[in-house]
């Protein structure tokens, strides 16, 4: 009987007769590809907004699969230049804190090994991914070619009526607590919790695979 839940016939009926959704709860439902697959959620802290002028001072990543965190990566990065005081005021990362941590070449090398071939998830990939791409090329002479999903763009698609789609705004709307805002590992955790909520919204819209996201232009 369970296999009938996956048939298009049932999905069409379910749209017209919402009570049928209870059958999924009672009989069970197969996880979607997006719920089952492995991804790596990433976030960075930097000394500014321009990758050509500013540096990465923290890298964090969560490997996830089956809606669970599997592995954690987190490191501060010792920059070439001093961290400006106004940046320390934003994220709490000081020059004293980064002393003794690896430089960008070593940190990015370890980071790239950690993410492997996973599809990356970040909130505002235009910032995080482009920053990492620039510094991978500069420090390692290597390209970062990982496919990526932007939860900011995804939230704009799924939650179009929000006043804005900042990480904090989405988290507040979805009733997700925000631990350690403006630290990379804290923002990774918030992005992960948002991703879980967005998975529920995607399932309702029958967006269940990376191919579905690609068709909508939501995976790059």
In the prediction, which pLDDT does 13 show? 61
pTM of the model: 0.85
168-180: average pLDDT: 89
Sequential DSSP letters for the chain = -GGGGGSHHHHHHHHH-GGGHHHHHHH--PPPHHHHSEEEEEEEEESSS-TTT--EEEEEEEEEETTEEEEEEEEE---SSPPPHHHHHHH---HHHHTTS--HHHHHHHHHHHHTTPEEEESSHHHHHHHHHHHIIIIIS------EEEHHHHHHHH-TTSS---HHHHHHHTT----STTSHHHHHHHHHHHHHHHHHHHHHTT--SHHHHHHTT-B-
Is the pLDDT reported for residue 169 higher than 70?
yes
Domains along the sequence of the chain with CATH: 1-30 (no CATH), 32-215 (3.30.420.10)
In the prediction, which pLDDT does 38 show? 94
135 labelled catalytic:
no
Least confident of 15-19, 178-182, 184-188: 15-19
Q: pLDDT, tens digit, for every residue of 71-125?
A: 999 999 999 999 999 999 999 999 999 999 999 999 999 999 999 999 999 999 9
| Whole-number average pLDDT of the chain | 89
Q: pLDDT, tens digit, for every residue of 40-79?
A: 999 999 999 999 999 999 999 999 998 999 999 999 999 9
As a whole-number percent, the residues of the chain with pLDDT over 90 amount to 79
Q: pLDDT, tens digit, for every residue of 25-35?
A: 544 567 889 99
In the prediction, which pLDDT does 177 show? 85
């Amino acid at each position: 009987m369970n296999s009938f839940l996956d048939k298009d016939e049932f999905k069409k009926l379910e749209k017209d007769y919402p009570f049928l959704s209870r059958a999924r709860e009672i009989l069970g439902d197969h996880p979607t590809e997006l719920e089952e697959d492995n991804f790596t959620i990433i976030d960075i802290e930097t000394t500014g907004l321009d990758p050509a002028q500013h540096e990465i001072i923290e890298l964090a990543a969560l490997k996830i699969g089956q809606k669970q965190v599997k592995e954690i990566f987190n490191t501060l990065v010792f920059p070439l230049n001093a961290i400006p005081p106004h940046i320390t005021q934003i994220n709490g990362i000081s020059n004293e804190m980064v002393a003794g941590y690896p430089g960008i070449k070593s940190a990015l090398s370890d980071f790239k090994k950690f993410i492997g071939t996973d599809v990356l998830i970040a909130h505002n990939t235009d910032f995080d991914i482009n920053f990492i791409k620039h510094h991978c090329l500069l420090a390692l002479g290597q390209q970062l070619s990982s496919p990526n999903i932007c939860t900011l763009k995804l939230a704009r698609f799924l939650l179009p009526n929000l006043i804005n789609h900042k990480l904090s705004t989405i988290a507040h709307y979805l009733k997700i607590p925000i631990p350690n805002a403006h630290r990379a590992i804290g923002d990774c955790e918030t992005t992960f919790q948002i991703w879980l909520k967005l998975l529920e919204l995607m399932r309702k819209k029958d967006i269940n695979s990376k191919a579905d996201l690609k068709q909508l232009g939501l995976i790059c």
